[in-house]
Amino acid sequence: MSAIHPPAQRIWWKQPLDKIELAWILIAFVWCLVMFFMMPYWHVYGKQNLSNETYRTTPEIFAKKTQEVVDKHTVRTETEEKIPVVRPPAGGDVYLIARLWAWWPILELEKGKTYRLHLSAMDYQHGFSLQPENINVQVLPGYEHVMNVTPNRSGEYAIVCNEFCGIGHHKMVSKLYVVDK
């Protein structure tokens, strides 16, 4: 029997299994198991995926909560669009909105302090990618992702959108500041 020609016997699945065929089935099965167990293993030891909590929300509720933090803790604005730079109290809740095609607001965090970072989208799926840390989180409308983050290096980080979200996708970039005190 070959892979290109039709099988000689119509009831081909009742023919005895070839040794090679069995070997490949076993190899494929073992590989499936390896990949299956690598998922939880890598989640814990790979230091790449952030454990997060997820809650249902709506764009309106999330925008309102973000606005409250922005109103309270904006320290300055940046760029022509006057994007607020928000410096929330250490240990506090930090909100970041993803929408076509911007991140809002800009966050300024303190090194060594732990924050609760809340992410949600207003419209479509976006991707929160923090560079050069290589942290990746999908951001979806209707869902609020919450992560505990503790920045361990001060400086300016880039946030890029890594889910294609339309014509302005490549312009959906922002930054995140981590300051020493």
The residue ranges that bind ligand CUA (CB under 6 A) are 101, 126, 161, 163-165, 169, 172
Shortest distance, position 95 Cβ to ligand CUA, whole Å: 17
Q: 99: helix, coil or strand? A: strand
Shortest distance, position 4 Cβ to ligand CUA, whole Å: 43
Cβ closer to ligand CUA: 88 or 157? 157
Phi, psi of 169 (to 5 degrees): -50, -45
Cβ closer to ligand CUA: 101 or 177? 101
Q: Which helix (H) or strand (E) holds 53?
A: strand 52-56
Q: 170: helix, coil or strand? A: helix
Cβ closer to ligand CUA: 69 or 121? 121
Residue located via tokens 């499936």:
32
Provide the H-helix boundaries in the chain: 19-45, 59-73
Cβ closer to ligand CUA: 68 or 123? 123
Shortest distance, position 167 Cβ to ligand CUA, whole Å: 10
Asked whether 155 and 131 are in contact (CB, 8 A), the reply is no
Asked whether 128 and 147 are in contact (CB, 8 A), the reply is no
Shortest distance, position 124 Cβ to ligand CUA, whole Å: 7
Cβ closer to ligand CUA: 110 or 161? 161
Shortest distance, position 71 Cβ to ligand CUA, whole Å: 25
Q: Return the CA Rg of the chain.
A: 24
